[in-house]
């Protein structure tokens, strides 16, 4: 059973535990996101993980065709596409993941509240290349088990942390790709300063992803100076997809 359940997160996790499994046969090999991040960085570009997100508890709401958006992100040199599949609060869908992974040739992240191996099976079958794990909603044992399970398919885990305690757990569990989310799961407030400090505390040898609240190239530059290797951006790109080129090319 996940470790911390309260309010809307409790509902979302309970829904995840009940979610019906959709059986598919994966059609493509797994693409590796970490080498692609490092390659783009070496070439002097900003590795941007562009997120397809339609609705969120913090009030975000945007309708946009998922395939057109994903193709535009790929054309704009996004390093990967993040697809929210949570279907009760975020209005996401497994169908978006399946369609997008078929439509693009960059790695695709399944972004959900993953608490079971069944959800990882679905991620693999639907074409995901990496899978989000949120430390705050898992026990340490569950986190380690799910990281190993994800890797057993050749996929990678993006392990999301919100504070120092989460980070210690993520590191002990063997996370390689670590995301610092500046949006608090419960208050929904974006705390950029504390998130930036946390980024600096991630030891060398891990790939660091800055997540949430990134709106401008100036913020990307600042986060890069503070050690971020990649940038996960949803709202700003959903509102204005043309920004992808500026965000990647600086
Ligand atoms: O987006 C939310 O309101 C949200 C609230 C609570 C948990 C997760 C949430 N969103 C998922 C994400 O982590 C973000 O969509 C992602 O980091 C992109 O953030 P943004 O660029 O601010 O849309």
Alpha carbon nearest to ligand 1 atom 13, residue: 212
pLDDT digits (tens, 9 = 90+) for 179-211: 999 999 989 999 999 999 999 999 999 999 999
Atom of ligand 1 nearest to the CA of 236: 21
Q: How many CA atoms lie within 13 A of 5 on its CB side?
A: 14
ipTM: 0.97
Please tell me the distance from the alpha carbon of residue 94 to that of residue 97, in angstroms, as a whole number: 5
- Cα–Cα distance between 57 and 208 in angstroms, integer? 25
Q: What is the CATH number assigned to the segment(s) 32-249?
A: 3.20.20.70
Residue pair 148/120 in contact by the 8 Å Cβ criterion: no
The best mutation among 12, 57, 179, 234 to test binding of ligand 1, ranked by most ligand atoms within 8 Å of the C-beta, falls on 234
- Segment among 23-27, 32-36, 111-115, 200-204 with least mean pLDDT: 23-27
Q: How remote is the CA of residue 40 from the centroid of ligand 1, in Å?
A: 24
**167 alpha carbon to ligand 1 midpoint, in Å?**
19
Give per-residue pLDDT as tens, 137-164.
999 999 999 999 999 999 999 999 999 9
């Amino acid at each position: 059973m996940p470790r911390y359940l309260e309010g809307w997160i409790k509902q979302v996790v309970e829904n995840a535990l009940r979610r019906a499994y959709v059986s598919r046969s994966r059609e493509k090999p797994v693409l590796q996101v970490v080498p692609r991040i490092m390659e783009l960085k070496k070439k002097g570009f900003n590795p941007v993980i562009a997120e397809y997100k339609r609705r969120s508890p913090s009030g975000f709401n945007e309708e946009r065709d998922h395939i057109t958006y994903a193709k535009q992100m790929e054309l704009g040199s996004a390093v990967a596409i993040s697809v929210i599949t949570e279907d009760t609060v975020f209005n996401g869908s497994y169908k978006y993941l399946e369609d997008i992974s078929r439509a693009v040739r960059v790695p695709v992240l399944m972004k959900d509240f993953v608490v079971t191996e069944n959800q990882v099976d679905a991620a693999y079958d639907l074409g995901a290349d990496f899978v989000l794990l949120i430390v705050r909603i898992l026990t340490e044992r569950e986190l380690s088990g799910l990281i190993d399970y994800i890797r057993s398919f050749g996929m990678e885990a993006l392990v999301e942390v919100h504070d120092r305690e989460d980070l210690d757990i993520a590191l002990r569990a063997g996370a390689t790709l670590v995301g610092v989310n500046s949006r608090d799961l419960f208050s929904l407030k974006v705390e950029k300063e504390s998130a930036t400090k946390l980024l600096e505390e991630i030891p060398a040898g891990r790939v660091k992803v800055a997540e949430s609240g990134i709106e401008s190239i100036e913020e990307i530059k600042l986060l890069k100076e503070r050690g971020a290797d990649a940038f996960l951006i949803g709202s700003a790109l959903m509102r204005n997809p043309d920004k992808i080129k500026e965000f990647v090319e600086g």
